[in-house]
Structure 1
Amino acid sequence: MNFFRQFIEKMKSLMHASLMKIILFLLIGIVLFFTMFSNVKPEKLVVNLFTVADQTIRSPITIEDKESTEKKKEESKNQVQDVYVVNKEIAQNRVDLVSSIFDSVSEVNREVEKDLAEQRKKQGENEQTVSEPSISEKLTLLKGKLTDNVTKEVMDTSLKALLMYKDNDLEIAKDITVTSINSVMGNKIPADEVENAKKKLEEDLKSNYSLDSDLKSASIDLGRFAIIQNEFYDPSATEELRQQAVDNVDPVKILQGQIIVEEGQLISREVYRQLELVGLLANENSIQSYLGLGMMILAVLAMFYYYFLAIDEKKDTKQNYMIMFSLIFVISLLLMKTVSIFQQFDYAEIGYIFPSAMAVMLIKILMEEKLAIITALILGVFGMIMFNEGVSGTFNVAMGVYIFAGGLAAVLFLKKHNQRSNILQAGLFVSIVNIIAIFSMILLQNGQYGAKEYGIYVLVAVISGISAAVLTIGFLPFFEAGFGILSTMKLIELSNPNHPLLKKILTEAPGTYHHSVMVANLSESACEAIGANGLLARVGCYYHDIGKTKRPHFFIENQLNMGNPHDRLPALASKNIIIAHATDGAELLRKYKMPKEIVDIAEQHHGTTLLKFFYYKAKEKGLDVKESDFRYPGPKAQTKEAAIIGIADSVEAAVRSLNSPTPEQIEGLIKNIVSDRLQDGQLDECDLSLKEIDRIRNTLCETLKGIFHSRIEYPDMKKVKDEPI
C-alpha cells in the first residue's frame, strides 16, 4: 500500500507538466496498440496451388469478389432469351394483298366483258366477227395490274384458273382464302415455322368443299403466297432485358468469417484466387489494419483527453482523475487481453468470463457516472476486437454487446446503491444481465446448443459479475488511499453510527453528538442549495467536534444537571480548553487515519474566529490580553463545505440558547452571524460568492424554522381530569 501511495505521489508530481499528460496518453495508446496488435494483424498463410489445406481457413474481412460478380452477371445475361415481337400489321397487309389480287382478276374480267360488248356493238353496225381474248391475253392484262413480287411468287396457272371464273365464284374463293389467312396469321410465325404455317393453311383450304378443284388450287397458291413470317427479333427489348438481369445481380462477397477452404480440401485455382483476394497469402503485405487500429486508438484517446480538460473540477482533481482513469483502464485492458489469449485453446466461451463491470464500477464510485458509461462503451468496442476468436480483423459483436451491457448494468445499480456492501449485490445484478445478454445473442443467432453448453455460459456469466465485484472491492482501498479520495461510498461508511469514533462521541459526549446531528442537517441542506457536496458536509459535521470528547464536560451541551466548570476557571484557561477541541479533534482523526477532507473540516470549521465571551471576560478582570490570543489557530475555511459547517455550527448553538425562538429572531440571528463571519474575513479563503452566501442564509432560516416550528400546547392532564365531563 505504501509503495502504491509513493508511486501515485510521484505520478502526481510529474503530471504538473502539460507534456507529461500527453506522454501518459501516448503510453495508454501504446498499451492499446500492442494488446490488439495480434487481433488485427493480417493472417499470412503459406499455401501452394493444388495442395491439400492443412487447416480450415476463414476470411478475415468482407470484400467483394469482382471476378465472380462479373462471371455471375455474364451468366445471368446469357440466360436471357432473345425477345421476339409479333407484327400484327403484317397479317392485315397480306390479307389486303390477296384481296387485291382477287379484285384485280374481277376487274380484268369486267374490262374484257366491256370490251367485248363494245366490239359486238360495232359488229352489228359493220357486220364484223367478234373475237374473245385468250387466257394468255387476259393473264397479260392481269399481270399489268399486279406487282412484280406477286407475278413472280404466284404461279401463272393459278392466275389463269382465277381468270376462268365468274365474279360470284371469285368472291366466295376470296372470302374463304382471306379467312384462312387471318386464322393462320393470327398466330406468331417465326422464320423457321413459315412452311408449317403454309401447310396448315393448305390443309385448311383443302378441307373446304365449297370450291371446285381448279379454284381451290389457285386459292391455296395465293394463301401460301400470303403466309410469311410475322414474329421478328427485337434487339432493343432484348438488350433492355439483359441489362435488367445484369442490374439485378447482387455483388458476390466473401463475408468476414466465411470458410474459404476446409481442412483436407484441395486448394484449386478458385480457392487460391480467393485467398489472394482477402490478403491471406504470404506475399501480401498490408498496413491497412494497423492504420485502422491506430486511427481508432487516436480518436478514443483524443476524446478522453478532451473530456478531462473540459471537466469542471479543480486542477489537482483533474490530474487525480486522469491518473486514476489511466490505471483502471490499462488494468482492465491487460485483464481483457489475458482472458482473450485462452481462446486459442478452443475455449470460445472463456471470453465471457472477463469481468467487464470492474473498471466501470471503480470509475463510477471514484469518479463520475458519465465517464463510467463512456468507458463501458469503449471497452465494448475494444472487446469486439480482442475476442475475435482468432480471425484477424474480424469483430465479435456479441462480445462487445455483452461487455457494454454488463458495464451499463453496474452503473445503473450503483446509481442508487453506492455503498461498499452493495458492490457484491451489484455483481449479482451484473451476472443476471450477463446471462440475459448471452442468451439474447444465442437466440438472435439461432444458435443450437445443448444443456452442457448453456450451463457453461451461465457459469462464466456469473463468474464475470462476481469477479468484477470482488476485484472492485479489492482495488478500492488502493485507489482511495493512493489518491486520498473520499468517495461517496466511503462517506456513507463513515456515517454509520457503529463507527468507533461516532460511538465515542455518543457515549462520552452525547450533547455534542446531538449538536453534531443538528449541524449536519443544517449543513447538508445549505450545501445542496448551492451545489456543494451535501454528503461530505453531513459526515464532516458528525466528526467536526470529536475533540470535545477529550474534556466533554467543559462544553455547555454536555453539562446536564451540573455546574459550569468555566465559572471557576480563569478566562485564559477556559480559552485554551475551548480552542484545543479543534486541534485535538484533528489530531484524533489523523490517528484513526480519517480522510483529509474530514480532518480539514474539524480543523477549519472555526477558522480564526474570536472567543468573544472569554476575551471580554478577561478584559473585565483587568487582564492585559490581546485579541489574537483568544482566536482559534485556524486555518480559515478553505472549502465551501467547511465554511458552511462553520456558519451552521454557530447558528445551531446560538438558536439553541434561545427560549422558544420566533421566526424573526431566527432570521435576525442568522443574518448577524453571517455578517460577522464576512466582516471578520472568515470566508475570504473559500470560493463562496455573495449570491451563494445569501442562498445559504435563506436555506438555514427555512430549515431552522421547520425545526423550531410552533407546536400545540396541550393542557395539563391533571386539570383535564378534574374538569367535569
Structure 2
Amino acid sequence: MQKWVRNMKDLLHYTFFKWIILTIVGLASFLLLFSHVSPDTYNTRLFSVADETIRSPKTIVDERLSEAERERAAAEVEPVYQYRPEITENRTSLISSIYEFAKDFNQVPGEGEPSVDQPVSDDMLQNLKDALSEDVSENVTESIDDQTFRQLLAATDQGLDEAKNITIDQVERVMQEPFKQEEALGKKNQAADYIAQFSLNDSLLTASMNLARFAVVENNIYDPEQTEARIAQAVEAVEPVQILEGQVIVQKGYLIDRDVYRQLDALGLTTNETSPEPFIGLAIFSLLIMLIIHFHFSSWKISEETKGLYLVLVSIILILSMSLMKAAELIRELEILQVGYIFPAAMAPMLLKSMINTRVALIVTMIQALCASIIFNDMMTGAVNVEVSLYFLFSGLAGILFLSDSKRRTHLLRAGLFVSAANLLFLFSLTLIESGQLSAIDYTLFAVFAIISGILSSILTIGLLPLFESGFGILSTMKLVELSNPNHPLLKKILTEAPGTYHHSVMVANLAEAGCEAIGANGLLARVGCYYHDIGKTKRPHYFIENQMSGHNPHDHLDPQTSRDIIISHAKEGADMLRKYKLPNEFVDIAEQHHGTTLLKYFYYKAKEKGLDPSEEDYRYPGPRPVTKETAVISVADSVEAAVRSMKDPTPEKIKNLVESIIQDRLQDGQFNDCDITIKQLETLKKVFCETLNGIFHSRIEYPDFKKEERKKEA
C-alpha cells in the first residue's frame, strides 16, 4: 500500500491525489447512507387494508387536526361582558326628563286628581311628543305608546313627582346588579312589579310601570374587542397537532380510512414519487465529511508524502467503519431493540490514535458518530438517531482516553475493557434520563451489547493494527516498543558481536530521547532508532574504537584511504541490513543520515600528514544530510557522546564547550539545511545534552583503600 501511494503521488500532484481520495470517501459515504435517507412509499388506496405496519418517517404538523383544535379552542371561549353603571344613571335621567316634560304640558296643574271627564287633547299630546323628540338624546316617542303619555298628562304635578321618585328608585334597584340582554325582559317585569306595590292612581301607576319597563335595559354589555383578544389568545395557546417520527399511522391488517389516508398523503407516502430533498441533503452531508478531512490535512505541517499516506489510511478506516455499521444494521431484521449498540465504535479511534495521533482519531470519532445517527435510524428512512450518535461519540472518546498509554498490545485489550465499562454506564444513564420503561431482558441486552462493543473494539484493533502498520509502513508507538526488545535478532547481533557499539548506542539513545522530547520531536522514535543506527559496525566491529577492548587499533597498520572506506561504509551497510530485515524506513533513514555529509577529520588530516594531498570531498560521508528533527538530534548526540566519552577528565565546563563546538560546527557545515530544526531548538539541545551528560559523567568520590590502611597499622 505504501508503494502504491508513492507511485500514485509520482504520477499525480498531491492536491489532485488528495481530492481523488476525498471524492472516493464522499461517494462511499453517500452510497452507504443512501438507503437510510430514501423515503419509503406505499401504493395505498382509500378503504383498502394495509399490507404492513406503516410508521411516520418524519415529524410533521397535521394541519387539519390542528385547525380543528384551534376552532374548538375558539368556540370554548366565553363572550366577554362589561358592566357599565353609567347606563343606570342615563336611564334614570331619561325617565326623570319624561316626568318633567309631562309636568310642563299636563292639563291639571297644581294638586288634586285629574278629571276623567276631560280627556287629554291631541294638541297637548303632540306638544309633549314634540318636546321629547327635540330636547332629549333618545327619541322615546317611538318606544312609549301614546296612552302612557296621555296618562302622564292627565296627572297632577304632585302625582307626577311622586311617580317619578318611585319609578327612579325601582329602576335603580333593579339595575344595581349587572345583567345581560337575555335577562332584560325579566328585569323589566321585576321593576314593574315593584312599582305595582305602591299606592298610585290606576292610570299613573300603569304609566309608571310602562316607563319602568322602558327604562330597564341591559347594563352588562358584550365587549367584542376583549372577546376577540381572548379567542386569539386561546387559539395561539393551542399546540399544533403533530404526526411524530416513528408514530404508527396504520397497523398491518387495519383499514385505511379517510383520516389515515389523509395522514399518509401529508407524509408523502401515498405514491411512488420520491422527493429529491433527502438526496440533496445527503450529498451536502457527504461533502461536509470531505471538507472536514480536507481542512485538517491542509493545516497539517508534515511532508506531502506522509500526508498522502495518512489520508489513504484515514479514508480506508472510515469506509471500513461505515461498512461495519451497515453490516451491523442489517441485524435489525431480528427486531432486537437498539442493536446498533453492539457496533465496535471505539475501533477506528483506537486504530488512528495508535498509528497517527489523537487529533485525527477525534475527527474520525465525530464523523463516525454522525454517520451512525443516519444508519441506525430504527428503520425510519430520513430520520436520525441522536441516542446512538451520542453513544458512538462517547465510546470513541473513551477509547481515545483509555488508550493514553499505548506502548504494548496488552494496553489495547485493557482499553477495550474500560470502554465496555464506559459504554455500560453511558447506556444506563441515558435510559434513566429518559425514564424508559424497559424490561429486565432489555437491560440485559443493553449490558451485553455495551460489553461486546468495547471488547470487540480492542480485538479488531489488535488484529488490524499489524496489517495497517505493515501495509502503510506506519511506525506506531507499540511497534517501536516491540522493536526495542533486546531479543530482536539485530539487537542480539550487535550486543554479542559489538558490545561496545551497543553500549554507545544506548548512551546515544538516552541523549537523543531527552533532546527530542525537549524540542517536541518523537523521543521514542529517536531512542529506538539509536539502538539500530550503528548496526553496520557489526560487519567489522574491531575497526571501531568502542569495541577495541585490548587497546590494539587495526587502523595503525592501514593507510588512511582504507580506514576511511571502512569507517564510512558502516552507514550504508547498516542501512542495507535494516532493509534486509524489513525494519521501518525511519530506521533506514537514521542509519544513512546520522553522519550526514560530515568530514572524517581524523583520517583526512592523517592523509595530509602523510603528504597524500587528499580531497576533502573524498573524506566526507555520502549522506544524505538529516531531513527530520529526530535524525538531526541523533547525529549531534552520536558525536557528542563519543567525544565526551573520550575525554580524560570531563567537567561541566568542558562538556558545555564541547557540545557548543560540535553543534556550531554542524551548523556551519550546513548539516541542518535539509531539516526544519531551528536555532532556538538547537539552543535547547545544548542545554539538555549538557544536563544529561553531566549526570552520566559526574565526578565520583575517591574512597580510601581500607585494607591498605589496616596493613599500615599492623606494621
TM-score by length of 2: 0.87
Which range is displaced more, 642-651 or 617-626?
A: 617-626
Which range is displaced more, 403-412 or 4-13?
A: 4-13
> Cα offset for 1:385?
1.0
Aligned length: 702
Deviation per CA, 1:273-311, whole angstroms, max 9, x where unpaired? 211111112343322211111121122213322332332
2:41 to 30, 40, 44: 44
Deviation per CA, 1:416-444, whole angstroms, max 9, x where unpaired? 44543311122122222222232233223
Matched, 1:277 2:266: yes
In 1: Cα distance, 2:672 partner to 2:91 partner: 116
1:456 to 445, 467, 472: 445
2:412 equivalent in structure 1: 423
Q: Cα–Cα, structure 1 residues 600 and 225, in superposed 2: closer, same or farther, change >3 Å?
A: closer
2:529 to 512, 535, 540: 540
2:183 equivalent in structure 1: 193
Q: What SS class does the counterpart of residue 415 from structure 1 fall into?
A: coil
2:309 equivalent in structure 1: 320
Q: Cα–Cα, structure 1 residues 150 and 346, in superposed 2: closer, same or farther, change >3 Å?
A: closer
Matched, 1:60 2:57: yes
> Cα offset for 1:92?
0.9
Q: Cα–Cα, structure 1 residues 670 and 205, in superposed 2: closer, same or farther, change >3 Å?
A: same
Q: What SS class does the counterpart of residue 260 from structure 1 fall into?
A: strand
2:132 equivalent in structure 1: 147
Q: Which amino acid aligns with 1:184?
A: V
Consecutive unaligned residues of structure 1, counting only runs of 5 or more, are: 117-130
Q: Cα–Cα, structure 1 residues 422 and 142, in superposed 2: closer, same or farther, change >3 Å?
A: same
Matched, 1:29 2:20: no
In 2: Cα distance, 1:222 partner to 1:340 partner: 88
Matched, 1:570 2:558: yes
Which range is displaced more, 83-92 or 430-439?
A: 83-92
> Cα offset for 1:317?
0.7
Matched, 1:704 2:693: yes
Q: Residues 121-136 of structure 1 correspond to what in structure 2 (within 5 A)?
A: 136=119
Matched, 1:249 2:238: yes
> Cα offset for 1:17?
6.3
Deviation per CA, 1:505-532, whole angstroms, max 9, x where unpaired? 4555554344323322322333344433
Q: What SS class does the counterpart of residue 109 from structure 2 fall into?
A: helix
Which range is displaced more, 171-180 or 516-525?
A: 171-180
In 1: Cα distance, 2:554 partner to 2:394 partner: 64
In 2: Cα distance, 1:22 partner to 1:287 partner: 26
1:472 to 449, 455, 461: 461
Q: Does the 8 Å contact 1:158/1:217 carry over to 2?
A: no
Q: Cα–Cα, structure 1 residues 689 and 15, in superposed 2: closer, same or farther, change >3 Å?
A: same
Q: Does the 8 Å contact 2:5/2:308 carry over to 1?
A: no
In 2: Cα distance, 1:691 partner to 1:193 partner: 100
Q: What SS class does the counterpart of residue 338 from structure 2 fall into?
A: helix
Q: Cα–Cα, structure 1 residues 428 and 12, in superposed 2: closer, same or farther, change >3 Å?
A: farther
Q: Does the 8 Å contact 2:341/2:453 carry over to 1?
A: yes
Q: Does the 8 Å contact 2:516/2:630 carry over to 1?
A: yes
Q: Does the 8 Å contact 1:135/1:160 carry over to 2?
A: no
Q: Cα–Cα, structure 1 residues 240 and 624, in superposed 2: closer, same or farther, change >3 Å?
A: closer
Q: Cα–Cα, structure 1 residues 199 and 565, in superposed 2: closer, same or farther, change >3 Å?
A: same
In 1: Cα distance, 2:333 partner to 2:653 partner: 77
In 2: Cα distance, 1:91 partner to 1:718 partner: 135
1:205 equivalent in structure 2: 195
Deviation per CA, 1:11-64, whole angstroms, max 9, x where unpaired? 555554644433332222222222111111111111111112222211112223
Q: Does the 8 Å contact 1:352/1:399 carry over to 2?
A: yes
Q: Which amino acid aligns with 2:144?
A: E
1:121 equivalent in structure 2: none
In 2: Cα distance, 1:405 partner to 1:172 partner: 94
Which range is displaced more, 209-218 or 17-26?
A: 209-218
1:74 equivalent in structure 2: 71
> Cα offset for 1:501?
4.1
1:124 equivalent in structure 2: none
Deviation per CA, 1:613-660, whole angstroms, max 9, x where unpaired? 344445556778665665444443333322221111111221222244
Q: Residues 652-691 of structure 1 correspond to what in structure 2 (within 5 A)?
A: 652-691=641-680
Deviation per CA, 1:226-256, whole angstroms, max 9, x where unpaired? 2123344444443333333333333333222
Matched, 1:441 2:430: yes
Q: Residues 488-499 of structure 1 correspond to what in structure 2 (within 5 A)?
A: 488-497=477-486, 499=488
Q: What SS class does the counterpart of residue 313 from structure 1 fall into?
A: coil
In 1: Cα distance, 2:518 partner to 2:123 partner: 125
1:184 equivalent in structure 2: 174
Q: Which amino acid aligns with 1:40?
A: V
> Cα offset for 1:387?
1.1
Q: Which amino acid aligns with 1:38?
A: S
Which range is displaced more, 526-535 or 42-51?
A: 526-535
2:384 to 380, 395, 419: 395
Aligned residues: CA RMSD: 3.7
Q: Does the 8 Å contact 1:154/1:222 carry over to 2?
A: no
In 1: Cα distance, 2:638 partner to 2:312 partner: 37
2:136 equivalent in structure 1: none
Q: Does the 8 Å contact 2:563/2:603 carry over to 1?
A: yes
Q: Cα–Cα, structure 1 residues 250 and 201, in superposed 2: closer, same or farther, change >3 Å?
A: same
Q: Cα–Cα, structure 1 residues 228 and 693, in superposed 2: closer, same or farther, change >3 Å?
A: closer
Q: Cα–Cα, structure 1 residues 445 and 263, in superposed 2: closer, same or farther, change >3 Å?
A: farther
Q: Cα–Cα, structure 1 residues 482 and 161, in superposed 2: closer, same or farther, change >3 Å?
A: closer
1:647 to 620, 633, 636: 636
In 2: Cα distance, 1:324 partner to 1:433 partner: 27
In 2: Cα distance, 1:713 partner to 1:527 partner: 35
Q: What SS class does the counterpart of residue 638 from structure 1 fall into?
A: coil
In 2: Cα distance, 1:185 partner to 1:143 partner: 31
TM-score by length of 1: 0.86
Which range is displaced more, 16-25 or 291-300?
A: 16-25
Q: Does the 8 Å contact 1:509/1:548 carry over to 2?
A: yes
In 2: Cα distance, 1:536 partner to 1:492 partner: 9
> Cα offset for 1:352?
1.4
Q: Cα–Cα, structure 1 residues 190 and 634, in superposed 2: closer, same or farther, change >3 Å?
A: closer
1:264 to 236, 253, 265: 253
Q: Does the 8 Å contact 1:666/1:704 carry over to 2?
A: yes
Identity of aligned residues (%): 48
Q: What SS class does the counterpart of residue 249 from structure 2 fall into?
A: strand
In 2: Cα distance, 1:612 partner to 1:189 partner: 121
2:209 to 220, 223, 226: 220
Q: Does the 8 Å contact 2:14/2:304 carry over to 1?
A: no
Consecutive unaligned residues of structure 2, counting only runs of 5 or more, are: 134-138
1:128 equivalent in structure 2: none
Q: What SS class does the counterpart of residue 211 from structure 2 fall into?
A: helix
Q: Which amino acid aligns with 1:147?
A: L
1:482 equivalent in structure 2: 471
1:95 to 77, 92, 96: 92
Q: Does the 8 Å contact 2:106/2:153 carry over to 1?
A: no
1:406 to 395, 403, 416: 395
In 2: Cα distance, 1:394 partner to 1:716 partner: 87
